[in-house]
């Protein structure tokens, strides 16, 4: 499926739900910058060079009907995670609360990635599209994800599209050989198209859970 062909179908109706998404990829793919583009109050664990050495954590919310991403300030006063943080308990519309966890990309932190990835509902696989050598590493990271999370939805993000000479999203997917993944081009630094892969991943997560419920009902 090309970048322009992503589904616009409305996610299924859900009650208030909490979803955990992990952002994985080679070192310096732009994972922390991507997280900050979505949540400028994200908690970061980086060294002096700006590389993640533990985990970065951020939060957003999603309206499951419109698919719109809501930032912390936009959900101020609503119940749930953000409401409790602010001491508010007023009723709120149905939203999906998203915890975003960005993992370190260095090989020595593999154990950290494995620990953080367990129990997540979906994954974003991010690569630096301006570095063909890093694109080749994406397949290794993907198999690492699948070893931990064999069935969760995954989307591929070709980051740093703003850099001269960067590969197109389709070229990135072709080089990785991950034809089964939907691919999105982003510039986390400029905040361009950062919501699109997250919105699609939420659709896939909620749709998968709806299918699972239907399967269980059919087996009963």
CATH number for the domain harbouring residue 200: 3.40.50.300
What pLDDT score does 170 carry?
96
Cα torsion at 75, 77, 81, 86 (round to 10°)?
A: 120
Stretch 65-93: mean pLDDT, rounded? Answer: 58
Q: Residue 198 pLDDT > 90, yes or no?
A: yes
Residue with tokens 């979505």: 38
Residue 6 falls inside a structural domain: no
Q: How many residues does the chain have?
A: 220
**Dihedral sign computed on CA atoms, order 170, 173, 175, 180:** negative
Cα torsion at 64, 67, 73, 77 (round to 10°)?
A: -30
* Residue 87: both structure tokens together: 């001491």
Instruction: Looking at mean pLDDT, say which of 12-26, 32-46, 51-65, 111-125 comes out highest.
Output: 32-46
Residue 1 falls inside a structural domain: no
Residue 207 falls inside a structural domain: yes
Residue 181 falls inside a structural domain: yes
Domain range for 23 is 16-215
Q: Residue 17 pLDDT > 50, yes or no?
A: yes
* Residue 91: both structure tokens together: 């009723």
pLDDT band at 162 (very low <50, low <70, confident <90, very high): very high
pLDDT band at 88 (very low <50, low <70, confident <90, very high): very low
Q: Residue 49 pLDDT > 90, yes or no?
A: no
Residue 30 falls inside a structural domain: yes
What pLDDT score does 146 carry?
87
Residue 60 falls inside a structural domain: yes
Cα torsion at 163, 123, 63, 207 (round to 10°)?
A: 130
Residue 148 falls inside a structural domain: yes
pLDDT band at 135 (very low <50, low <70, confident <90, very high): confident
* Residue 176: both structure tokens together: 């990785």
- Number of domains comprising the chain: 1
Q: Residue 12 pLDDT > 50, yes or no?
A: no
pLDDT band at 28 (very low <50, low <70, confident <90, very high): confident
Residue 85 falls inside a structural domain: yes
Global pTM reads 0.76
pLDDT band at 75 (very low <50, low <70, confident <90, very high): low
């Amino acid at each position: 499926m090309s970048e322009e062909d992503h589904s616009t179908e409305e996610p299924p109706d859900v009650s208030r739900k909490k979803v955990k998404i992990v952002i994985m990829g080679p070192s310096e793919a732009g994972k922390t910058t991507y997280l900050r583009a979505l949540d400028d109050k994200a908690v970061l664990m980086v060294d002096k060079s700006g590389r993640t050495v533990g985990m970065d954590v951020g939060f957003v919310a999603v309206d499951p009907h419109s698919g719109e991403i809501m930032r912390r300030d936009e959900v101020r006063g609503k119940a749930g995670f953000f409401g409790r943080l602010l001491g508010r308990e007023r009723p709120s519309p149905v939203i999906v609360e998203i915890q975003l966890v960005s993992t370190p990309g260095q090989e020595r932190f593999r154990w950290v990635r494995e620990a953080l990835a367990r129990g997540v509902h979906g994954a974003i696989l991010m690569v630096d599209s301006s570095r063909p050598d890093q694109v080749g590493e994406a397949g290794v990271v993907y198999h690492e994800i699948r070893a931990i999370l064999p069935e969760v939805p995954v989307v591929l993000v070709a980051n740093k599209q703003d850099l001269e000479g960067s590969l197109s999203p389709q070229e990135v997917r072709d080089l990785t050989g991950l034809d089964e993944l939907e691919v999105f081009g982003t510039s986390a630094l400029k905040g361009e198209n950062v919501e699109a892969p997250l919105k699609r991943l939420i659709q896939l997560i909620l749709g998968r859970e709806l299918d699972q419920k239907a399967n269980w009902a059919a087996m009963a």
